[in-house]
Amino acid sequence: MSENPKSSRGYFATKAGIIAATVGSAVGLGNIWRFPYECGQGGGAAFLLCYIGFIALLGIPVICAEFILGRAAHTDFFSCFERLGSRRGWPWMGLIGIVASLMIISFYSVVAGWAFEYLRLSLSGNLISTGNSQGGFGAYFATFTGSGYAIVIWTVVVLALNYAMVLGGVRKGIERASTIMMPLLGVLLVIMCINSLMMPGAADGLSFLFKPDFSKITWNVILGAMGQAFFSLSIGLGCMLTYASYFKDSAELFRSAATTGILDTSVAILAGVMIFPAVFTYGIAPTQGPTLVFEVFPTIFSKMAGGTIWAIMFFFMLALASLTSTISMSEISIAFFVDKCGMRRRMACILSFVLALAGGVICALSFTHLDWPVNFFNLFNNVSSNILLPIGGLLISVYTGHILNKKIFTEQLTNNGKLHGVPVGLLRFLLRWICPPAIAIILAMSIGLI
Ligand code: PHE
What are the pLDDT digits (tens) for 366-400?
988 787 889 999 999 999 999 999 999 999 999 99
SS (H, E, C) the chain: CEECCCCCCEECCCHHHHHHHHHHHHCCHHHHHHHHHHHHHCCCHHHHHHHHHHHHHHHHHHHHHHHHHHHHHCCCHHHHHHHCCCCCCHHHHHHHHHHHHHHHHHHHHHHHHHHHHHHHHHHCCCCHHHHHCCCHHHHHHHHHHHCCHHHHHHHHHHHHHHHHHHHCCHHHHHHHHHHHHHHHHHHHHHHHHHHHHCCCCHHHHHHHHHCCCHHHCCHHHHHHHHHHHHHHCCCCCCHHHHHHCCCCCCCCHHHHHHHHHHHHHHHHHHHHHHHHHHHHHCCCCCCCCCCHHHHHHHHHHHHCCCHHHHHHHHHHHHHHHHHHHHHHHHHHHHHHHHHCCCCCHHHHHHHHHHHHHHHHHHHHHHHCCCCCCCCHHHHHHHHHHHHHHHHHHHHHHHHHHHHCCHHHHHHHHHCCCCCCCCCHHHHHHHHHHHHHHHHHHHHHHHCCCC
State the first-to-last Cα distance of the chain, in angstroms, to the nearest integer: 50
CA angle 432, 437, 440 (to 5 degrees): 130
Residue nearest to atom 7 of ligand 1 (CA): 234
Q: Give the containing element (helix H, strand E) for 2.
A: strand 2-3
Q: Residue 1: what pLDDT?
A: 39
* DSSP-derived secondary structure for 64-79: HHHHHHHHHH-S-HHH
Measured from the Cα of 328, ligand 1's closest atom is 10
- 9 class by beta-carbon count within 10 Å (0-12 exposed, 13-18 middle, 19+ buried): middle
Among 32, 96, 325, the mutation site with the greatest number of ligand 1 atoms within 8 A of its Cβ is: 325
Cα-to-centroid distance, 163 and ligand 1 (Å): 16
In this prediction, residue 33 has a pLDDT band, given cuts at 50, 70 and 90, of very high
Cα-to-centroid distance, 381 and ligand 1 (Å): 11
Phi, psi of 10, deg, nearest 5: -85, 170
Q: 218-239, pLDDT tens digit by residue?
A: 999 999 999 999 999 999 999 9
Contact call for residues 323 and 161 (beta carbons, < 8 A): yes
Measured from the Cα of 322, ligand 1's closest atom is 12
Residue nearest to atom 4 of ligand 1 (CA): 30
In this prediction, residue 173 has a pLDDT band, given cuts at 50, 70 and 90, of low
Global pTM value: 0.94
Report d(CA 88, CA 122) in Å as an integer: 54
In this prediction, residue 177 has a pLDDT band, given cuts at 50, 70 and 90, of low
Enumerate residues 6+ apart whose C-beta is below 8 A from 172: 1
Cα-to-centroid distance, 231 and ligand 1 (Å): 5
Q: Which of 276-285, 320-329, 365-374 has the highest mean pLDDT?
A: 276-285
Cα-to-centroid distance, 45 and ligand 1 (Å): 22
pLDDT at 129 over 80: yes
Q: Residue 201: what pLDDT?
A: 97
Report d(CA 193, CA 199) in Å as an integer: 10
Among 231, 322, 329, 382, the mutation site with the greatest number of ligand 1 atoms within 8 A of its Cβ is: 231
Lowest mean pLDDT among 31-35, 175-179, 201-205, 286-290: 175-179
Among 266, 329, 386, 388, the mutation site with the greatest number of ligand 1 atoms within 8 A of its Cβ is: 329
In this prediction, residue 17 has a pLDDT band, given cuts at 50, 70 and 90, of confident
Q: Residue 3: what pLDDT?
A: 41
Cα-to-centroid distance, 399 and ligand 1 (Å): 22
Q: Residue 87: what pLDDT?
A: 65
Q: Which of 135-139, 244-248, 256-260 has the highest mean pLDDT?
A: 256-260
Phi, psi of 11, deg, nearest 5: -135, 145
- Sign of torsion over alpha carbons 349, 4, 75, 426: negative
pLDDT at 286 over 50: yes
Q: Residue 217: what pLDDT?
A: 95
- Pick the residue with more confidence: 376 or 86? 376
β-strand pairing of 2-3 with 10-11: antiparallel
Q: Residue 135: what pLDDT?
A: 87
pLDDT at 93 over 90: no
Enumerate residues 6+ apart whose C-beta is below 8 A from 104: 231, 237, 329, 380, 384, 385
**Residues pairing with 10 in the sheet:** 3
Q: Residue 343: what pLDDT?
A: 95
Report d(CA 290, CA 338) in Å as an integer: 35
- Pick the residue with more confidence: 48 or 174? 48
Q: 132-162, pLDDT tens digit by residue?
A: 988 899 999 999 999 888 999 999 999 999 9
Contact call for residues 278 and 205 (beta carbons, < 8 A): yes
Residue nearest to atom 6 of ligand 1 (CA): 234
Lowest mean pLDDT among 16-20, 177-181, 385-389: 177-181
- Pick the residue with more confidence: 192 or 335? 192
Residue nearest to atom 11 of ligand 1 (CA): 234
Q: 114-127, pLDDT tens digit by residue?
A: 999 999 999 999 99
What residues line ligand 1, using a CB cutoff of 6 Å? 25-26, 28-31, 104, 231-232, 234, 237, 239, 325, 328-329
Q: Residue 5: what pLDDT?
A: 38
| Other Cβ atoms closer than 10 A to 305 | 7
Q: Residue 178: what pLDDT?
A: 67
Cα-to-centroid distance, 24 and ligand 1 (Å): 9
Q: Residue 2: what pLDDT?
A: 42
pLDDT at 168 over 80: no
Report d(CA 333, CA 353) in Å as an integer: 10
Among 101, 108, 265, the mutation site with the greatest number of ligand 1 atoms within 8 A of its Cβ is: 108
Calculated CA dihedral for residues 342, 327, 61, 90, nearest 10 degrees: -30
Q: Give the containing element (helix H, strand E) for 11.
A: strand 10-11
